[in-house]
Amino acid sequence: MDTPEDLRYSTDHEWVRVAGDRVRVGITDYAQDALGDVVFVDVPAVGAVVEPGGPLGEVESTKSVSEVYAPVGGEVLAVNTSLAERPELLNSDPYGDGWICELRPSDPSTVDNLLDAAAYRALVDG
């Protein structure tokens, strides 16, 4: 399982990459593996305001439909429109081209409350 050291992680298996005043959000390698082949991704609307732990979208796979939760609250600034045509990017490149959206956190310090890579690995290793 790939767990990049430069990211922060939620207990719901989302990742966050900080870039200036925004964060990029996606699902972890662990999550995409558990889901199986992703066939559809519902992304949030640009301009939407999300609450920490609130729904951010849905991922539909050959196994199930799963909610994606906002690891931090804030305004959606951008979404990955490539996922409409290529939802499998969540499987093939979850930390790169498979990102879901970018948010401007309402409270940037909440990123510090997320798990670091070692703590996330401990969570999924059980």
* Angstrom distances, CA of residue 29 to CA of 35, 54, 56, 81, 83: 10, 21, 18, 20, 16
Say what percent of the chain tops pLDDT 90: 98
pLDDT given for residue 15 in this prediction: 98
* pLDDT (mean) for 99-122: 97
- Write the pLDDT tens digit of every residue in 39-58: 999 999 999 999 999 999 99
Residue 8 has pLDDT above 90, yes or no: yes
pLDDT given for residue 95 in this prediction: 97
Exposed/middle/buried for 75, CB within 10 Å: 0-12, 13-18, 19+?
middle
* Angstrom distances, CA of residue 52 to CA of 18, 65, 89, 106, 111: 16, 21, 25, 10, 10
Exposed/middle/buried for 121, CB within 10 Å: 0-12, 13-18, 19+?
middle
pLDDT given for residue 126 in this prediction: 84
Residue 67 has pLDDT above 90, yes or no: yes
Fold of 8-108: OB fold (Dihydrolipoamide Acetyltransferase, E2P) (2.40.50)
pTM summary value: 0.94
* Opening angle at CA 14, ends 105 and 50, nearest 5: 35
